[in-house]
A = this chain, B = another copy of it.
Amino acid sequence: MSGTKSRRRGAKLEQAILDAAWAELREVGYARFTVEAVAGRAGTSKPVIYRRWRSRAELALAAWYRQVPADQGTPDTGTLRGDLLAMFSRIARGADSMMNEMVAGVMGEAFRHPEVAALLGDRLTRPSPLTSAMETIIGNAVARAELPPVDPPHRVKRLPLDLIRNESITSCGTPLSDEALASLVDDVYVPLLRGLATVQQAD
């Protein structure tokens, strides 16, 4: 309880800031995410943060990027539709979806801070645990002969994330209903896979 003030530096401090930023993002969302609150929560001050990241947007992205998406395994319900519904709902409820507000917010600022645009685009399109889970699900369906053999292009593997992000943005924060997810699966994704399979078979 003496007045000795311990001062963190370097990596340790950086981690503390990013942890605080992530906690803030989860608690208040990007719209109310302020650098001052992050500084306060991390027990430091604004200049320390601005020495490391050029803007609020970059800080938020850095905090997000550090979160390793927990690999939750791949659903295996015995049917393609069941697996897809489980997967879509996991995506829609998971942390990735919580970040859709942030994606929109950051993009809204990208005109003023063009540097962040590249960072963001990269994160959104890169292969991830989710895209490989899609591979597995599709592979399983092929093995069960629910689908003809098919080799989906990368765009199709990232499509669930894209569809759900778009749905999330267009419904402006309202949590996605089961009906909406079912519509994405039944009206779009399953037919797409069938179509891909028949086209590729014709080769």
Q: State whether A111 touches B32 (Cβ < 8 A).
A: yes
A190 to B172, CA, bound (A): 29
Q: Within the complex, what minimum Cβ distance (angstroms) separates A70 from chain B?
A: 23
Contact B173 A166 (CB under 8 A): no
Q: Which of B111, B183, B192 contacts A29 (CB 8 A)?
A: B111
Verify A30–B195 contact, CB threshold 8 A. no
Most B Cβ at <10 Å: residue of A30, A117, A121, A188? A188
Point out which of A30, A111, A121 has the most chain B C-beta atoms below 10 A from its C-beta: A111
Chain A 1-37 interface 0/1 with B at a Cβ cutoff of 8 Å (1 = within):
0000000000000000000000000000111100000
- A169 in contact (CB, < 8 A): yes
Is A109 an interface residue, CB under 8 A from the partner?
Answer: yes
For residue A191, which residues in chain B have a CB less than 8 angstroms away from its CB? 192, 195-196, 199
List chain B residues, Cβ under 8 A from A163: 162, 166
Could you tell me how many residues of chain A have their Cβ less than 8 Å away from some Cβ of chain B? 50
Specify which chain B residues have a CB less than 8 angstroms from the CB of A155 in the assembled complex: 183-184, 187-188
Binds B, one of A38-46, A89-97, A100-108, A135-143: A100-108
Does B104 contact A107, Cβ atoms closer than 8 Å?
Answer: yes
Which residues of the other chain, B, contact A120 by a CB distance below 8 angstroms? 170, 172
Closest CB-CB distance, A114 to chain B, in whole Å?
A: 8
**Distance (Å) between the CB of A180 and the closest chain B CB?**
9
Interface positions, chain A 138-157, Cβ under 8 Å from B, are: 153, 155-156
26 sample A-B contacts, Cβ–Cβ < 8 Å, listed by A number: A31-B110, A31-B111, A31-B112, A101-B107, A105-B108, A107-B169, A110-B172, A114-B173, A116-B172, A117-B171, A117-B172, A120-B170, A120-B172, A121-B172, A121-B174, A125-B170, A153-B187, A155-B187, A156-B187, A163-B166, A165-B169, A165-B170, A191-B196, A194-B198, A195-B195, A195-B198
What 4 A-B pairs come out closest when comparing CB atoms?
A195-B195, A117-B172, A191-B195, A105-B108
